[in-house]
Structure 1
């Protein structure tokens, strides 16, 4: 019996190790050396994981990086760490809670009134396994953090982005005259697993740390879409591992996309004069 169990464990370990080796071989790496001096970048959910690694890389390239975070204490710690590691003092944290449309509007208004231009918006923040909880706006928490909040934020800031050349909106799994692309970072050992509970979340993160991407690897496609010369002028595409990939059939349904846009417009209370399309 013990022999059978040991063989089973060995087989599982071999499969997981092979999977890890496969990921290492196929993980896309952004090879662009492009500098971003004089550029302004906003990254949501940048206090940890993929967002933090993306912020670190873009700060290293000389950009002004605004960490848009719900938890200001964690955001401040991430900001201080990035400044210390990159030597770029033009990094700051601002409060943004995507589960509150009022917070999204307040953040956007502050950016519009204080920043002369906006070059890159990276909608990185997300939530998983939050159940059927409703936000103060009466929307499902998961849908608001993952879609409605970023949708409203992008619409409110699109005027600034349109007036900046070149300009990019990067959506982590749309806008006239702006390149907008989405991506899948892959299976990453990040804090997004915390909502699975203290025990299961920690166990998942431990397992993923050994056999899947780390946050730096998970950030590569976000960085690629923000800086690479390969995607200049490319818009409306879906990327994985720094390469264009095929989206799902639902994502290609233009009728469904139109309905989603119109419904989103209604649910977030977007006014005609708020989005400069």
Structure 2
């Protein structure tokens, strides 16, 4: 009896587990990996939200390539802790903590002022930081904007525009905007752009997050158009579905985690895996690719039908919203 049970494990369960493991490995291979390890000595990179998750791994990957990396973080204690952690395995590059709270436009302006004053050149701005906070929590930025739209889009919109003169002076340079394929589920509704008229709380996913990611994608398109011929390239990136602290505010029940586990096994990436497309767009030669959306270290064709008039209007509206605060 015992031998028959052992045989069942060996001849049935083991091959199944092996097959599942191979499928997972194949998916990891398809996600792509940044294979460009050229030296970035003397190049200055800004990574927003570098104190955890994908931002931390991006900063680590750049330091490994000998870059000067500004870790733009809301909490300097966390930023310094991350630097200590990175230094346990990476001794190259320079890691510089600086305070930036994207939920406060005054903080964004103060950060930009310090960068412009202290750094003669900025070669790449990586707009990575983001939040996904359920609408029922009714969180707003310091300036009164819905938190997802305010941080994910407006904060980075202001930061990028403040640093554009420096990026142009430092050309060839780049702006990388971290979006998500969830932008395909988003909507740009200029009559309710940041929830000023309320939301439908019955939706399963966070519509404000999806909308903010669509705003990121439109911002990337419009920015690339406006920077054509300046030597500043723009890339919009989906890092993939990653295991990070992004959805820590979701308040999921324990049984949902159990149901989600099989999906997570095949689709969930580590933060390091999620950083690969960002690093690829930050360091690889990508001639003629400015304005493109990237996923898995290669161009991605979005299912969303982008309309140029929306990207132009979103820029103008974002400018008006942020100029008056």
Does TM-score exceed 0.5, indicating one fold?
yes
Let me know the Cα RMSD of the aligned residues: 2.6
Instruction: Give me the whole-angstrom Cα distance separating, in 1, the residues matched to 2:324 and 2:45.
Output: 24
1:269 aligns with 2:275: no
Cross-structure match for 1:214:
270
Instruction: Give me the whole-angstrom Cα distance separating, in 1, the residues matched to 2:288 and 2:173.
Output: 9
Mark the CA change 1:53 to 1:156 in structure 2 (over 3 Å): closer, same or farther: same
Cross-structure match for 2:141:
135
1:160 aligns with 2:215: no
- How many pairs are equivalent? 256
Instruction: Give me the whole-angstrom Cα distance separating, in 2, the residues matched to 1:124 and 1:246.
Output: 21
Q: How much does 1:267 deviate?
A: 0.7
Q: How much does 1:140 deviate?
A: 0.8
Mark the CA change 1:121 to 1:262 in structure 2 (over 3 Å): closer, same or farther: same
What secondary structure does 2:269 align onto?
coil
Q: Any conservation in 1 of the 2:133–2:139 contact (CA below 8 Å)?
A: no
Q: How much does 1:18 deviate?
A: 7.6
1:260 aligns with 2:304: no
What secondary structure does 1:194 align onto?
coil
Q: Any conservation in 1 of the 2:236–2:291 contact (CA below 8 Å)?
A: yes
Mark the CA change 1:61 to 1:182 in structure 2 (over 3 Å): closer, same or farther: same
Mark the CA change 1:56 to 1:199 in structure 2 (over 3 Å): closer, same or farther: farther
1:49 aligns with 2:53: yes
1:25 aligns with 2:29: yes
Q: How much does 1:130 deviate?
A: 3.7
Cross-structure match for 1:100:
104
Instruction: Give me the whole-angstrom Cα distance separating, in 1, the residues matched to 2:48 and 2:27.
Output: 26
Q: How much does 1:270 deviate?
A: 7.7
Q: Any conservation in 2 of the 1:30–1:220 contact (CA below 8 Å)?
A: yes
From 131, 152, 156, the equivalent of 1:146 is: 152
* More deviation, 80-89/104-113: 80-89
Q: Any conservation in 2 of the 1:130–1:141 contact (CA below 8 Å)?
A: no
Instruction: Give me the whole-angstrom Cα distance separating, in 1, the residues matched to 2:282 and 2:70.
Output: 14
Cross-structure match for 1:235:
290
Q: How much does 1:216 deviate?
A: 0.7
Q: How much does 1:106 deviate?
A: 0.4
Instruction: Give me the whole-angstrom Cα distance separating, in 2, the residues matched to 1:91 and 1:235.
Output: 27
Cross-structure match for 1:91:
95
Q: Any conservation in 1 of the 2:32–2:296 contact (CA below 8 Å)?
A: yes
Q: Structure 2 unaligned segments of length 5 or more: list them.
A: 1-16, 180-222
Q: How much does 1:210 deviate?
A: 4.2
Cross-structure match for 1:6:
none
From 233, 243, 251, the equivalent of 1:189 is: 243
From 58, 63, 66, the equivalent of 2:62 is: 58
Q: Any conservation in 2 of the 1:83–1:91 contact (CA below 8 Å)?
A: no
Render the CA deviation track for 1:150-171: whole Å, top value 9, x for unaligned: 0100000011100113201000
Q: Structure 1 unaligned segments of length 5 or more: list them.
A: 1-12, 272-277
Q: How much does 1:249 deviate?
A: 2.9
